[in-house]
Protein backbone atom coordinates (compact mmCIF):
# COMPACT_ATOMS: atom_id res chain seq x y z
CA UNK A 1 0.00 0.00 0.00
CA UNK A 2 1.27 3.45 -0.85
CA UNK A 3 -0.31 6.74 0.18
CA UNK A 4 1.11 10.15 -0.81
CA UNK A 5 0.14 13.39 0.92
CA UNK A 6 0.65 16.70 -0.87
CA UNK A 7 0.30 20.00 0.94
CA UNK A 8 -2.36 22.21 -0.69
CA UNK A 9 -2.09 25.46 1.29
CA UNK A 10 0.17 27.12 3.83
CA UNK A 11 -1.86 25.74 6.74
CA UNK A 12 -2.98 22.11 7.21
CA UNK A 13 -4.84 21.19 4.02
CA UNK A 14 -3.41 18.07 2.40
CA UNK A 15 -4.53 15.90 -0.48
CA UNK A 16 -4.00 12.21 0.25
CA UNK A 17 -3.81 9.94 -2.78
CA UNK A 18 -3.57 6.17 -2.92
CA UNK A 19 -1.76 4.13 -5.56
CA UNK A 20 -5.01 3.94 -7.60
CA UNK A 21 -5.33 7.73 -7.74
CA UNK A 22 -8.26 7.99 -5.28
CA UNK A 23 -8.14 11.25 -3.33
CA UNK A 24 -9.22 12.37 0.13
CA UNK A 25 -8.74 15.89 1.47
CA UNK A 26 -7.40 16.23 4.99
CA UNK A 27 -7.40 19.49 6.96
CA UNK A 28 -7.27 20.87 10.46
CA UNK A 29 -10.08 22.67 12.22
CA UNK A 30 -10.31 26.44 12.13
CA UNK A 31 -9.57 26.38 15.87
CA UNK A 32 -5.95 25.41 15.13
CA UNK A 33 -5.58 27.49 11.97
CA UNK A 34 -6.93 25.06 9.39
CA UNK A 35 -9.52 25.95 6.79
CA UNK A 36 -11.94 23.02 7.27
CA UNK A 37 -11.32 21.91 3.67
CA UNK A 38 -11.16 18.21 4.48
CA UNK A 39 -11.65 15.45 6.98
CA UNK A 40 -9.57 15.44 10.14
CA UNK A 41 -7.22 12.48 10.67
CA UNK A 42 -9.09 11.06 13.67
CA UNK A 43 -12.35 11.24 11.70
CA UNK A 44 -10.64 9.23 8.97
CA UNK A 45 -9.94 6.48 11.49
CA UNK A 46 -13.62 6.25 12.43
CA UNK A 47 -14.63 6.35 8.76
CA UNK A 48 -12.16 3.53 8.17
CA UNK A 49 -13.81 1.50 10.93
CA UNK A 50 -17.22 1.96 9.34
CA UNK A 51 -15.97 1.15 5.87
CA UNK A 52 -13.99 -1.90 6.94
CA UNK A 53 -16.91 -3.37 8.85
CA UNK A 54 -19.42 -2.49 6.12
CA UNK A 55 -17.44 -4.47 3.57
CA UNK A 56 -17.16 -7.45 5.94
CA UNK A 57 -20.87 -7.46 6.77
CA UNK A 58 -22.00 -7.19 3.15
CA UNK A 59 -19.63 -9.99 2.09
CA UNK A 60 -20.79 -12.27 4.90
CA UNK A 61 -24.49 -11.64 4.26
CA UNK A 62 -24.08 -12.14 0.50
CA UNK A 63 -22.48 -15.54 1.18
CA UNK A 64 -25.51 -16.38 3.35
CA UNK A 65 -27.90 -15.43 0.52
CA UNK A 66 -29.20 -12.43 2.44
CA UNK A 67 -30.24 -9.47 0.30
CA UNK A 68 -29.73 -6.00 1.75
CA UNK A 69 -32.00 -3.29 0.37
CA UNK A 70 -30.15 -0.59 2.32
CA UNK A 71 -27.43 -0.31 4.95
CA UNK A 72 -26.57 2.78 6.95
CA UNK A 73 -23.85 2.73 9.58
CA UNK A 74 -23.61 5.41 12.25
CA UNK A 75 -20.49 5.72 14.36
CA UNK A 76 -20.18 7.77 17.53
CA UNK A 77 -16.71 8.23 18.96
CA UNK A 78 -15.62 9.85 22.21
CA UNK A 79 -12.03 10.88 22.80
CA UNK A 80 -10.19 11.34 26.06
CA UNK A 81 -10.14 15.04 26.83
CA UNK A 82 -7.50 14.91 29.54
CA UNK A 83 -4.77 13.04 27.65
CA UNK A 84 -2.14 13.75 25.03
CA UNK A 85 -2.55 12.26 22.58
CA UNK A 86 -6.36 12.36 22.82
CA UNK A 87 -7.05 8.74 21.88
CA UNK A 88 -10.53 7.31 21.45
CA UNK A 89 -12.19 6.28 24.69
CA UNK A 90 -15.49 4.83 23.49
CA UNK A 91 -16.82 4.03 20.02
CA UNK A 92 -20.36 2.86 19.31
CA UNK A 93 -21.40 1.54 15.91
CA UNK A 94 -25.03 1.11 14.84
CA UNK A 95 -25.82 -0.90 11.71
CA UNK A 96 -29.26 -0.06 10.29
CA UNK A 97 -30.46 -2.53 7.66
CA UNK A 98 -33.47 -2.54 5.40
CA UNK A 99 -34.64 -5.66 3.65
CA UNK A 100 -36.00 -9.15 4.16
CA UNK A 101 -33.17 -10.28 6.41
CA UNK A 102 -32.75 -13.10 8.92
CA UNK A 103 -32.12 -11.51 12.32
CA UNK A 104 -29.72 -14.24 13.51
CA UNK A 105 -27.65 -14.02 10.34
CA UNK A 106 -27.41 -10.24 10.58
CA UNK A 107 -26.41 -10.40 14.23
CA UNK A 108 -23.75 -13.02 13.48
CA UNK A 109 -22.38 -11.13 10.45
CA UNK A 110 -22.00 -7.94 12.47
CA UNK A 111 -20.38 -9.80 15.37
CA UNK A 112 -17.94 -11.61 13.06
CA UNK A 113 -16.90 -8.34 11.51
CA UNK A 114 -16.54 -6.34 14.70
CA UNK A 115 -15.02 -9.10 16.85
CA UNK A 116 -12.91 -11.03 14.34
CA UNK A 117 -12.41 -9.74 10.79
CA UNK A 118 -12.33 -5.93 10.74
CA UNK A 119 -8.67 -4.92 10.94
CA UNK A 120 -9.52 -1.35 11.90
CA UNK A 121 -11.66 -2.53 14.83
CA UNK A 122 -8.81 -4.75 16.03
CA UNK A 123 -6.43 -1.78 15.98
CA UNK A 124 -8.83 0.61 17.71
CA UNK A 125 -9.88 -1.86 20.42
CA UNK A 126 -6.32 -1.73 21.76
CA UNK A 127 -7.00 1.72 23.20
CA UNK A 128 -10.79 2.12 23.26
CA UNK A 129 -13.99 0.30 24.09
CA UNK A 130 -16.01 -0.55 20.99
CA UNK A 131 -19.68 -1.45 21.23
CA UNK A 132 -22.16 -2.13 18.45
CA UNK A 133 -25.76 -2.93 17.70
CA UNK A 134 -28.04 -3.62 14.77
CA UNK A 135 -31.45 -2.47 13.58
CA UNK A 136 -33.47 -4.22 10.89
CA UNK A 137 -36.34 -2.31 9.30
CA UNK A 138 -36.50 0.07 12.25
CA UNK A 139 -36.50 -2.67 14.92
CA UNK A 140 -33.50 -3.28 17.20
CA UNK A 141 -31.93 -6.73 16.95
CA UNK A 142 -31.87 -8.44 20.33
Query: Is residue 123 predicted with pLDDT exceeding 90?
Result: yes
What angle (nearest 5°) sits at the alpha carbon of residue 109, between those of residues 107 and 113? Answer: 115
Rg of the chain in Å (alpha carbons): 17
Contact 102, 137 (CB under 8 A): no
**What count of residues does the chain have?**
142
The predicted model scores a pTM of 0.94
- What pLDDT is attached to residue 142? 87
CA distance linking residue 3 with residue 1, whole number of Å: 7
- Give pLDDT tens digits for 46-99: 999 999 999 999 999 999 999 999 999 999 999 999 999 999 999 999 999 999
CA distances from 51 to 16, 83, 116 (A): 17, 27, 15
The percentage of residues in the chain with a pLDDT greater than 90, rounded to a whole number, is 99
Amino acid sequence: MKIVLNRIDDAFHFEAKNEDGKIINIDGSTAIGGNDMGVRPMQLLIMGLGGCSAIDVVLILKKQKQFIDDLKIELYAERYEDREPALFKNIHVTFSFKGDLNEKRVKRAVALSMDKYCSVAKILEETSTITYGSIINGEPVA
